[in-house]
Amino acid sequence: MKKTLLWLVSLLITLSFAVYQRKTGPTYPVKGSSVEGTDIYYYYLPRSCTSGDSPDCLINISSRKPAAGRVEWRRYKTGDPFASVPLEFKNGRLFFYLPSQPPAGKLEYRVFVQAGGGELELAGRPLVTRFKGAVPGWVLTPHIVLMFLFMLFSVRIFLTAAFGAPPVKHSVPATVLFLLAGGFVFGPITQYYAFGAAWTGFPFGYDLTDNKTLLMLLAWLPALWVVLKGKPARLWLNVAFAVTAAVYLVPHSMFGSELDYKKGEVVTGK
């Protein structure tokens, strides 16, 4: 019963970290349930899109009655003038597909809807959406699952250490194995499909996601060594989890790959 409870608490904590990472990152879409002074009851503004003919770069605004609006967009950090395009209304919704960009390319855009006698800007600010290449499911699914298992086992090991019990000897090697496979095998493959570069962290770049993964590995290796040597490991495990938790509190996809339109190359740390 105690073990089951610890696994349940570990799962809830892990899910909390996952939701936090997802919702606080710069690629999470902006959503709303209503717009004052209009008949709009839902809107969806993307901040991550797939290059090509994928339908995921859709500005979608649902309205109970016919509505009007427009989109202003331009390539990010280019100084291009904004192009203004009217939103199309059909079947109870205003919509517009943002023009596709190369992987790591970004668009800055603003969405305005008619409200009363004037216009109202949704989100109240310009938004930026980043484009990525399509990642096959056989790459993305293992990456997500393995990183989830890594965090789940990390939390479980921490809770065990917090109660003063020694960790199950195979649990720490399994945790490090999940991190190696998810973060250093399927992670780089995912990034290669998405942005054309497998590793853009230290020492080749400043990609925060890659560097966070490297930092977690450096925190867990001493804990693994102590456990395998059969020595008291509580301090090292607590340090490893503290680093892991701190990393997971940093929003996902910050300072990632970005296309420099002037140079025509992908840079990191933006």
Side chain identity at 55, as an amino acid letter? P
Looking at the DSSP assignment, which residues form a beta bridge with residue 94? 61, 89
Which parts of the chain fold into alpha helices (H)?
2-24, 137-162, 171-184, 186-195, 208-228, 234-248
Q: What pLDDT shows up at residue 6?
A: 87
CA 50 to centroid of chain Cα atoms: 14
CA 104/CA 266 separation, integer angstroms: 7
- Domain residue extents for the chain: 2-25+135-267, 33-132
Q: Quick check: helix, strand or coil at residue 39?
A: coil
C-alpha pair distances (Å), 254 with each of 26, 76, 135, 160, 166: 6, 16, 19, 32, 36
Q: What pLDDT shows up at residue 1?
A: 60
Q: What pLDDT shows up at residue 257?
A: 83
Q: What pLDDT shows up at residue 201?
A: 86
Burial 53-78 (b: 16+ CB within 10 A, else e): eeeebebbbbbeeebebbbbbbbbee
This prediction has a pTM of: 0.88
CA 76/CA 61 separation, integer angstroms: 23
Domain covering 33-132, topology: Immunoglobulin-like (2.60.40)
pLDDT per residue of the chain (270 residues) written in tens, 0 to 9 = 678 888 999 999 999 999 998 899 889 999 998 888 899 999 999 999 999 877 789 999 999 999 999 999 999 999 899 999 999 999 999 999 999 999 999 999 999 999 877 899 999 999 999 999 999 999 999 999 999 999 999 999 999 888 777 666 789 999 999 999 999 999 999 999 999 888 888 888 788 889 999 999 999 999 999 999 988 888 999 999 999 999 999 888 777 788 889 888 888 765
